[in-house]
Structure 1
Amino acid sequence: MPREVRERQMLDAAVEVFARRGYNAASMDEIAELAGASKPLVYLYLNSKEDLFSACIRREAEALLAAVRGATVPDAPADRRLWCGLLAFFAHTAEHPAGWAVLSCQARTHGEPFALVVAGLRQQIVDLVTRLIAETARSAAPAVPLAPHEAAGLAHAVVGAAESLAGWANSGADTGPSEKATAETLMNVVWVGLDNLMNGRRWTCTARP
């Protein structure tokens, strides 16, 4: 069997075990058994449990980012690209729940260098969403221009909400929403807020402290 095929099988098995057991409780014996390989071969190919976990995080992060980027067709209107990006995000996390569990839960609880990979992924998605929001605002010729910090703030809010919604949608409930319904929920919140900002309908605090 070609090495790349065998390594993919090992990584697939590792993602499942890490998602189910967590990093500390996951055993190389279980990973090797699920992959249909010997434990010495897993060590030979992927060196250590830490290196294997890092490889899983990098692979899942790259796959998620590629799915989101691939869905945002350059020639489409900015709002359509934002919608397609959100839909791709929820579709990918629904199709790869173990990978999402590793990224959203396991990697963030074990410090560097694992958390740094996830932070880098998140920042790249935030940058993409920031650009789409800014382009949408410019193309709409708003009555009140959208400030850069507002576009960045909205992007962080969108990504944070998307992460939370993905966890909720993938919670295992049989009656959970579809990827499209989840994306529509978030898109409506974003779109109403962005439309209000662009048309000068801004909320301000009028109550005394």
Structure 2
Amino acid sequence: MKSKRVPRAVREQQMLDAAVLTFARRGYRAASMDEIAEVAGVSKPLVYLYLNSKEELFSAVIRRERAALVAAVTAAVQPGEAADRQLWSGLRGFFAHTAEHPAGWAVLHQQARTHGEPFAVEVADMRAEIVAFVTELIGMAAKEAGCVGELAEREVAGLAHALVGAAESLAEWANTRTDEGPSGDQEHPTAKDAAATMMNFAWTGLGHLMGGERWTPGGAGGEGGRG
């Protein structure tokens, strides 16, 4: 009996899955099409037939992983909730996705952004989407706190960029750090724990800011205080 032919779309996803693992493990420069084909269980000519070149394969991987991450963050948020609850949900979605797909996150965070155009542009566009989302939430929080106008548009944007950068760094830490659990197994921080750390770091400080408390440089001794 003839074996069923694997549909092209399914075969492409298998190749992309193999490519994600290989690029994350080897890096873009060292990864070979031979290894990707072997991991995917197909011939190298078939990889070239479907995805043309290593550069185009890497671009396809970045686009897929970018779309999956943005979709996970936006799907986790419940519209209509308070700004802090929306950010909390989005952060949990972000950390859960990066923990469940560490190879995809490694490609986006470590590989794509370090190899120039067009790869870095794809990651920059993804980051801009997330920053715009966080900017909107901070603006919403300012409105809820009744301090619209006190936070300049540039300041809100700066806070959003800082928060996203901190979340990216925390995801990197969470995916590489291991703690020994009660059973002696090595455990990664959960998405809930990582999100709570981020909220305690960022949103608590924003709460003071929304309440009109600002840190200001102190005297000549360099001490700071709230103004």
| 2:191 counterpart of 1:179 | yes
Aligned to 1:49: 54
Question: Helix, strand or coil for the counterpart of 1:204?
Answer: strand
Identify which of 115, 136, 154 aligns with 2:159. 154
CA contact under 8 A between 2:145 and 2:211: conserved in structure 1? no
Identify which of 169, 172, 189 aligns with 2:174. 169
Question: Helix, strand or coil for the counterpart of 1:18?
Answer: helix
Tell me how far apart the structure 2 counterparts of residues 72 and 65 of structure 1 sit (CA, whole Å): 11
Question: Helix, strand or coil for the counterpart of 2:58?
Answer: helix
Matched AA of 2:80: D
Aligned to 1:100: 105
TM-score between the two structures when normalised by the length of structure 1:
0.96
Matched AA of 1:183: A
CA contact under 8 A between 1:13 and 1:34: conserved in structure 2? yes
User: Which segments of 5 or more consecutive residues in structure 1 lack a partner in the other structure?
Assistant: none
In terms of mean alpha carbon deviation, does 167-176 or 183-192 score higher? Answer: 167-176
Question: Helix, strand or coil for the counterpart of 1:125?
Answer: helix
Matched AA of 1:13: A
Aligned to 1:201: 213
Larger RCO (alpha carbons 8 Å, 6+ apart): 1
Aligned to 2:200: 188
RMSD (Å) for aligned C-alpha atoms: 1.4
Paired residues in the alignment total 209
TM-score between the two structures when normalised by the length of structure 2:
0.88
User: Which segments of 5 or more consecutive residues in structure 2 lack a partner in the other structure?
Assistant: 1-5, 179-185, 223-227
- Which structure shows the higher helix fraction? 1
- Determine which structure has more spread, i.e. the larger CA radius of gyration: 2
Tell me how far apart the structure 1 counterparts of residues 41 and 80 of structure 2 sit (CA, whole Å): 45
CA contact under 8 A between 1:19 and 1:102: conserved in structure 2? yes
